[in-house]
Chains A and B, each alone.
Chain A
């Protein structure tokens, strides 16, 4: 017999939105590529970067069949996309909500240099953010995303970069939560995989960065239960000579998070960075099979890792729409399994193989 629990406070009701996005089996489709970013994607498949192409491409993703519904808890949009419509006249936010997912909006305005550093940056976008978020909320958004970027070299990230980026993330988060009826801020402190550093170094830096982020969130009175974290997985640098298994990556990642992310945070939605679709699913799966106990959901917020094949299959031709959607559905299903630790490379559920999933005696 459980003791009486105090009634839900308004805050506790707010937290339900964050939990819905990371419900079991669900993750986020990051479809918020800016006009400049999407240009690169479109040109890589020989498609022209027109507004109609961008609309058609996103429609393709948002109108995939019902198989994606149990896989996608939220979709992050770029500003332009919030106000585009499907062929049937429904605004994209409505299309997304009709499929049972929440709508998110990228609200930062890109990175800017930090003077006196070795190419380090902070992120701008705080001006008028309250008003912009209030408007986005009216227009259908329930969560937002803000990306900060840090990089690992012999002398970076510097204390300034760590402190400044943590601070600006906390300001953004605080403002989001103040919007009438609230917008859930996804906090993204991405540590780039560029460089030749090893896994241990990335883990160390990730721990320091996340400790700073959560201290800043505390200082700024941010309600953790109404936030999500979008970090990098802990991986070696791209140019690192040593190769690590998904299990090693999983162990390093979950260890770093266990040391820094308070249990009040409902979910962690990994970015895929430069990972391939398959890599991103395998790593997410290993993370969810890691034997270390953890109190938050561990799922995906993937852009390229959900879209690469779909983009290629589409190649800018309307006739390829169905084939492209099929590719997207495949990755959505794969990642839905991965975030439950049930993914096998063939894509089918239920892993029979139960080999040792972590490197024993490895000092993390």
Chain B
């Protein structure tokens, strides 16, 4: 009962309910149980009523019985001993003449996860599995899966699995569907024992049941069929024929499950077969129909279509128009449609597509406009005939002078230049006019590339590059990398003195190269650039195959294999498409060549989609870049994954779609990255250069800085509740953040004449949802004049209510004498979390993104710490310094803070060496927290 100190009414509520539950009148009882369930729904604890509710169980009123069972399912686990009281009634109900009651009993018993009850469940379950009523049988079938989850051994010992297998041949399709569903679930935890035992006979049974089932049953059966591998193309065709009618079902889930089966089995059909063509034609209309559904469904459909288009572009090649964006589509639907439009773009429809894209580029939504501009560039690269028109469209857009449109256009024009060198240089003059408006790193990098590349045609290329160099220290990594290479391009030998080790190393490498062997250096820097790929961000083929096997599931929406996001996915069961049978082998497979990354054979090599600075570095020592690139088996992909994240943060690439800017110059390839990270088996040439190894180490160290949770500031304890206000109990306390957790450190002093026991604590709703993570541990009674120190762990999962001030916390403490209330304030630094270090790039973008209304300025006076000391001090309390700049004898620290509820605060701390005052500028999307953060700064710095 200590749970609800704030709602004293609950107690009397429970008292009243108790009386009503024990009433003689049936109606009154029913109403009482309803009230109990209503309280349960809103999260009130009504477990105290367990015995009274169980008493209502023995009734012939089905409505009341159902309500009681609903209650039982929720509370049985917390009251296992009491739950036993219900067993007799359950067992009796399983014998009831009314099939509804039998089913209800067996359904509920399976949901009570109490070991003792499962023993009693076996006999009734066995009977129910063979019940004459199909409703009881189908409920019992699911119950086997429930029991298996509680006690797998028991299910096997009792032979329930065999009974379940028998149910697959049941006369009632609902029973079949549930049996299939239960067996599929159970077999996932036993990958080896072939529970479902799919063979032509059982498949035939399933296909028959398919026609009679409810729509939901059809989904189970189709999903089960998809796991079967037909023996040959004829069997495959006959299954396809029987599944095809499902494509016109009104339920989209049935349609997608059917599409999955067909996409998988089609793989086995020879392509010259007439039926293959027919099937392709049949697949398009249901997919198109999905796009007229509500946006939620459209989005998941589009994600699936994206996969299908990559695997078999021929299915939807004539349906371009349905992917045109509607003005009232939500943004997430628009972006997906755009992606598919590009994939479907071909010479036949390019004019139409371009006209659309140009319209989109004038819309209001910035993200969408950017993507539309990029799409124009991708069209140019994909369909050569359209390149000229694309370039002129882009120039039109540049004329609008809308800042982000111009920048985006320049980025894609760079890609077009790379794909079609020496063709469209006439536009360079227009691009140079817009030099000043470029403020995004990617656009600047692109512009530098263009200037460097076409230096001989631009009269003042030196000047232009020079002007970019001026801001070298302020530039982000990607721009400087580009500058570096381009400056080298011009053979200007001034190696910049940058503080980014990664860049510096790169600069040195070039410099050494240049000084030792200018010829080799020229070869490296000015080497042939790999051609830009036609299709960007294609899904890697083996992953695509696996995802095709998961069409219609969450995996197909996330574009990730299920084991990447399903918790404890048992074993790694990668699904594969079936191999084509001998008869189909001869057939051409035009799509295969297209979707392979093009690693193995010759040009055009694909531009990697991951950042590959490391690749560049490694390649330098490995071999001249023109040397053939080794073939990487698919398994190496793991290495890229492992490293991908780290690289991203190192190099600052956050926009995979536009990551071509770094590569190219040296011919870096994703393979190099794979080699370095995946196996540790670096080529000998590399291992021999310790300097390089060190450089790599440095690179990795950069990511550090997390996990330093020590040294957080703890304010001294203050008296929160004086003894005179609390009948002799004095409470003083403070808050501390230790080891990533929040603690409330309390000292309880007994100034009264009697012993205090039965302590409990509760918080009122507060701004950040602080709540005790466990009970207040005062194990021994508190004697007179005794003080006890307790540390109460807190979490932030409690209910939320905005407090004034924001960091106010109202606390109730109970003991054997009374309940006492007090309020206290916690420093907001308590809520700064350990992973609050923001990446530089993100920081920069976020800082720009937060409107200036949300910026607040504070002055911290009389302060004499240098910037490093301040930075260390703040770091101890999870205020992370992202970057530091020194301008005019001022140190500028850029810092990020993340609160437990995910709010970020960005700070610029200005430390002047002349005056002892700090200036703090805070930007936060929730500006109301700013003043509290500022208070904390002061507090943290002064202590």
Q: Do A and B bind each other?
A: no
Q: Which residues does B use to contact A, with CB under 8 Å?
A: none
Q: Which residues does A use to contact B, with CB under 8 Å?
A: none
